Amino acid sequence: MKWFERIFRQKFPLATLTIIKRRGCGGMDELAIQTDWQRWLEDHAPKFLLFARQQARWEADAQDLVQEAVVEAWQRQGDGAPPPPALVFATIHRRAIDRARSEDRRTGREQAVVEPQLESWFDTSVEDRELNKLIQDGMNRLSGEYREVITLKVWGDLTFAEIAEALGIPANTAASRYRYGLAELRKLTKKVLT
């Protein structure tokens, strides 16, 4: 690989270089990347969409947010591999704020015509259908600050440090919001859950 780096440095002295993969066959590279992406999307796309649904007003906006954030994080990462989930969550959060600001400038008439769509946030298996509805209702009644931290921690599998980075808050704040938010959510669902 050194020969390549040497030649590259001669041709592009100011450029930075990242070697992605080295394998015996180019076809295998493509296949491995495609398989990695497929697996990564199956694992993480539901979490991203759950978070985006809480950040956006409409379902279509939530799906757009997820797609835009994944593509942006992938391009920013720059090595062709799937980006870290924390980076995608952070991008969803930032883009949702930008989108909300631009939407606020729209006319009230337009907002009155289009009603937000209520999609189910969780898998609707028969035994958990009631629980799903209960938690979704409780989450909707929580303040946004608590809701996003709980979502990133419980279903996004992020650490408090990653949540802090994604939301632009101190890690201690993320931890305390999680604790207070969880207590609040439990109060809202107390009649049914133990």
- Name the residues that contact another protein, by CB under 8 A: 1, 3-4, 8, 12, 14-26, 29-31, 33-35, 37-38, 41, 45-47, 49-50, 63, 66-68, 70-72, 74-75, 78-80, 119-124, 128, 131-132, 135, 150, 154-155, 179, 182-183, 185-186, 193-194
- Report in angstroms how near the CB of residue 190 gets to another protein at its nearest: 10
Q: Which is nearer to another protein, 76 or 106 (CB)?
A: 76
CA distance 7 to 29: 23
Which of 139, 41, 44 shows the shortest CA–CA distance to 86?
44
- Report in angstroms how near the CB of residue 90 gets to another protein at its nearest: 18
- Chain-centroid distance, C-alpha 67: 10
Contact 151, 54 (CB under 8 A): yes
In three-state secondary structure terms, 84 is: coil
- Report in angstroms how near the CB of residue 9 gets to another protein at its nearest: 11
Q: Which is nearer to another protein, 46 or 84 (CB)?
A: 46
- Report in angstroms how near the CB of residue 44 gets to another protein at its nearest: 10
In three-state secondary structure terms, 191 is: coil
- Report in angstroms how near the CB of residue 74 gets to another protein at its nearest: 7
Question: Which are the contacts of 59, defined by CB distance < 8 A and separation ≥ 6?
Answer: 53, 117, 119
Q: How large is the angle between the packed helices 85-104 and 26-55, nearest 10 degrees?
A: 40
Q: Which is nearer to another protein, 98 or 168 (CB)?
A: 98
Q: Which is nearer to another protein, 36 or 111 (CB)?
A: 36
Q: Which is nearer to another protein, 106 or 186 (CB)?
A: 186
Q: Which two tokens stand for residue 6?
A: 């040497």
Q: How far apart are the first and last CA of the chain?
A: 60
